[in-house]
Every structure is written in structure tokens, then in C-alpha cells.
Structure 1
Amino acid sequence: MGRLVYAANTSLDGYLEDATGAFDWSVPDEEVHAFWNDHERHVGTSLYGRRMYETMRVWEDDDWLEGEPAVVREYADVWRDADKVVFSSTLQQVSTARTTLERRFDPAAVRALKESTDRDLSIGGATIAAEAFRHGLVDDCVLLVCPVTVGGGKPAMPPGLRVDLELLAERRFAGGAVLLRYVVRVP
């Protein structure tokens, strides 16, 4: 059975993006990018909300990758190799290969998807991840804490919901970011 992993870059004060929607403070250096490449290699399917999908679909296009470091070009290949499911009631169509559009988040369908694979699934986007947390679907959290506070914005973890976690691993990166990997403890 696959594990559903919530993976995100977060500010030290717990936000995915600041109050203006910016997340430029979380752009990874080569060491962090290499970590994300290795992490994503184990993912068979990525689950996205509309906004996260619209952010990530840039990896489908090769035009901007020319001249980028090898670690960045490698991520494009890793991203393209995974299946993607986008949950959106407003998106008209998807524009990337290996991508399915679902009109609503169906916890039973996500549970069935987890049960039908031996590869990890990732979930990206605060709103859709909050739904997965609320339905007890998230197995692991991989949080890369960036050395910055932004003072407000979109919270990395679902507001109003208690999630008990057990620390599995930690790692410090030369640029000051810290990786925290947790398993979700089920009461």
C-alpha cells in the first residue's frame, strides 16, 4: 500500500506563502533541490489542488530549462515521470501529460488509490492537503523549514485541526534550511 506524504517548504513561522501569496523565499539551493529530486523519485502519483498544479505545470515545458543547473533539469524529468491528479471545480482542463482532472476531492477514491499502489503518493497545496488531513489520509509529513519568518500568509498545516506527529528524521542543510520528517500518529 502506498503512503500519502504531505511535503512542503515552510517558513520558520509556519507559512507556505506570505500574506501577498509570494513564496520566493523558499526557492531551493542546489543541495535542497537535490533532496527534493531524491524525495520525489519515490512518488508514483502527485495530488494537487488547482493553484499548486498551476504553479507546478511549468516543469512540463523545456524552453526555460536551457542553461539551468543539472539538478533543476533533473527535477523536470522526475516530475514528468509521476502521474498527477488535480482536484478543481474551476479548472477547465489540464495541460500536462499523465494528468487527470477530478472535480471534487473524494476521500474514498484517494484511499482506494493508496491501496492500489506500492509507490508513495504526494499531496501538494494547503487547501487540498487540509482535506486529506481532515479525512485521516496523510501518513507522513516532510517539512523543509526555511530560515525566514514571513509574519503571516497561508499556513503550512491545517488551521483548527490537531495532528499528532512523531519525528522520524531531521537534517540540516548548509544554507540554513532544516528538514523535518514526521509520521502521522493515529490515536
Structure 2
Amino acid sequence: MRKLTYAMNLSLDGYVAAPGGDLGWSVPSDELFQWWSDRVGATGLALYGRKLWEGMSSHWPTAAQQPGATPAHVEYAGRWLRMPKVVFSSTISTVDWNARLVTGDAVTEITRLKAEDGGPMDITGATLAAAAMRAGLIDEYVLVTAPVLVGGGTPFFTALDNWVNLALVETRTFPDGVLLTRYETRR
């Protein structure tokens, strides 16, 4: 059975995007960017919601060819393009870049994917992750918390019907006061 991890940058007050989708507060240091790149390189399958997919797919397929692209950005772009992806959306009709589209029930498909053999899966996008969270499918939470309060926007966590007990398994501090905390779900 595959492990499903929900990992994203978030503000100290718990948002993955500020009002209007603003992500300007979450620009990573070089060290944190490398950590995310290594994570992408180790991901067996990435699960994307529509909004995050549209943002990522509008940038990373051509990022390596952009003027001023750093070696780290070129490396990340290559890893992102090679990483298998599943995009969950009922409003888009096609996806590219080593991705396939799922228009049906996300929880049913994520449950099926978890039962398959293969490498670890990452779920990205707060709305998609919320559905998996409510269904009890997430095995690990990775919070990369920036020391900023944005006051609203898209929350990392959703309202739940039941408690989810977690065990802290890792902490790490990055430049600029960014703190990574990793928790495993206690079953």
C-alpha cells in the first residue's frame, strides 16, 4: 500500500494562499527550494487539484528555458516534468506533462491508487487534500510554515468530523525562520 502525504507551504495562521490566491509570502530560500526539489524527485505519484495544477503547469514546463533560470530551477523543472501526476478536475478537459486527468470521485480514485504498489504519493491543493483528509486517507502531514500572518485565504486544514491523532516525526528549521514539521497519522 502506498503512503499518502499532504505537504505544502503555509502561513503561521494556517493558510496556503492569502486572499486572492496571493503566494508572494511563500518564496522559498535556496535551501528550502532544494528540499522541495528533492521531494519531487522522490515522489512516486503526485495528486493535484485543479487550481494548483493550473499554477504549476503554467510555469514549470518552460521554466528551464526562461532567461535567468538557475541550475536549481532547471533541476526542479526536469524532476517535475518526469514525475507522474494525476489531476482531479471536473472543469478542465486535458492535461499534459506526464499527467492524467480524473473527472470522477476523487476519494474513490485516491483509495484505489493507495492500494496499488508503487512509490509514495503526495497530494497537493487544499481542496483536494480536504476531501482526502475527511476520508481518512492521509498518512502524513508536512507543514512548511512561514513566519507570516496573512489573515485569511485558503486554509491548509479543513473542518473534520472526527479527531485525527498525529505523531511528530521530524522538525527542521530553514532560513528566514521557516519551520518544517512532519507528522504521521496514528491509526
Aligned-pair Cα RMSD in Å: 1.5
How many Å apart are 1:155 and its aligned residue?
Answer: 0.6
TM-score (norm 2): 0.92
Aligned to 1:70: 71
Q: Does 1:127 align with 2:127?
A: yes
Aligned to 2:43: 43
**Count of aligned pairs:** 185
Q: Does 1:172 align with 2:169?
A: no
Q: Does 1:107 align with 2:113?
A: no
Q: Does 1:153 align with 2:176?
A: no
Q: Does 1:83 align with 2:84?
A: yes
How many Å apart are 1:69 and its aligned residue?
Answer: 1.9
Q: Secondary structure at the match of 1:118?
A: coil
Q: Does 1:5 align with 2:8?
A: no
After the TM superposition, which residues 18-57 of structure 1 pair with which residues of structure 2 at under 5 Å, given as runs? Answer: 18-57=18-57
Q: Secondary structure at the match of 2:78?
A: helix
Q: Is the 8 A contact 2:29 2:175 kept in 1?
A: no
Aligned to 1:60: 61
Distance 2:105 2:27 in 1: 28
Q: Secondary structure at the match of 2:21?
A: coil
Q: Secondary structure at the match of 2:100?
A: strand
Q: Is the 8 A contact 1:11 1:149 kept in 2?
A: yes
1:64–1:26 Cα change, 3 Å:
farther
Aligned to 2:14: 14
Distance 1:60 1:75 in 2: 10
Larger deviation: 154-163 or 34-43? 154-163
Distance 1:47 1:107 in 2: 12
Q: Structure 1 stretches of 5 or more lacking a match?
A: none
Q: Is the 8 A contact 1:12 1:148 kept in 2?
A: yes
Distance 1:92 1:166 in 2: 39
Q: Structure 2 stretches of 5 or more lacking a match?
A: none
How many Å apart are 1:64 and its aligned residue?
Answer: 5.1
How many Å apart are 1:44 and its aligned residue?
Answer: 1.3
How many Å apart are 1:63 and its aligned residue?
Answer: 6.0
Moved over 6 A (4+): none
TM-score (norm 1): 0.92
Q: Is the 8 A contact 2:168 2:184 kept in 1?
A: yes
Per-residue CA distance 1:107-155 (angstroms, 9 max, x = gap): 2332221222330111111000000111111111111001111011111
Aligned to 1:138: 138
How many Å apart are 1:104 and its aligned residue?
Answer: 2.6
Per-residue CA distance 1:44-77 (angstroms, 9 max, x = gap): 1111111010011121124653422211211111
